[in-house]
Amino acid sequence: MKKILMVLTSHDQLGNTGKKTGFWLEEFAAPYYAFLDAGAELVLASPMGGQPPLDPKSYLPEFQTTLTHRFKADPAAQQALAHTVPLDSVKADDFDCVFYPGGHGPLWDLAVSQQSIDLIQAFERAGKPIGFVCHAPGALRHVKKANGEPLVQGRRVTGFTNGEEDAVELTDVVPFLIEDEFKAQGGLYEKGPDWAPYVVVDGRLVTGQNPASSEGVAKALLAQLA
């Protein structure tokens, strides 16, 4: 049985807007069930442990899917989510793969968390698959290759686009724009149409552009583990 670590944000403040953020429900639920239905053992972690903050917008009716409804009717999944383990208690050695769901939260905490950076580097050095969707690729911002270069340098990557950030009117709120950041670091950033599924696989690094890409990232990770 494959063991997969899912790392969620603990950050709930949307910059200085006074609004709440966190993780995006669909980006958790779709991969969670893709992994679970494939027979994987899952461990959920977050910087602070416990219940990670849910972006309230991701609970709106227009963003619900078959899998978010499944989650809302699944006490075991809700229980697992309410009791994430602290990020400093997990080791890459104990897992076959790591996946980061998005939501805006990761731009503030996981992007700068040394524990997260060290963890991703450990998975990457061990040749294990690492996956990120939507805003979660922002967690790669300070991750380095063994030679000290940015991990994304010279690698094909995607993540929430400038156009998508503009559409949700948060361009001036977020601490950085993923598209700009990856290009600045020498990443081979690519994207599809805004809001359409788009998944990029570069070796063991799998990134998805937006919420619609979350299940695709999970399936690409499972294919690597098969």
What are the extents of the domains in the chain? 3-225
- pLDDT given at position 5: 98
CATH number of 3-225: 3.40.50.880
pLDDT number for residue 94: 98
**Strand pairing category for 188-189 and 85-86:** unpaired
Least Cα distance to 20 among 104, 135, 133, 111 occurs for: 104
Q: Tell me how far apart the alpha carbons of residues 17 and 84 are, in angstroms, rounded to a whole number.
A: 27
Distance CA 79, CA 29 (A): 13
User: Which tokens go with 188?
Assistant: 């081979």
pTM beyond 0.85, yes or no: yes
Distance CA 90, CA 101 (A): 17
Q: Tell me, what's the pLDDT at 161? A: 98
Q: Residue 35 has what pLDDT? A: 98
pLDDT at 47: 98
- Strand pairing category for 3-7 and 199-202: unpaired
pLDDT along the chain (226 residues), means of 10: 97 97 98 98 98 96 96 97 98 98 98 98 98 98 97 98 97 98 98 98 98 98 97
Nearest Cα neighbor of 8 from 114, 91, 116, 89 is 116
Residue 116 CB coordination number (10 Å): 26
Q: What per-residue confidence (pLDDT) applies to 14?
A: 97
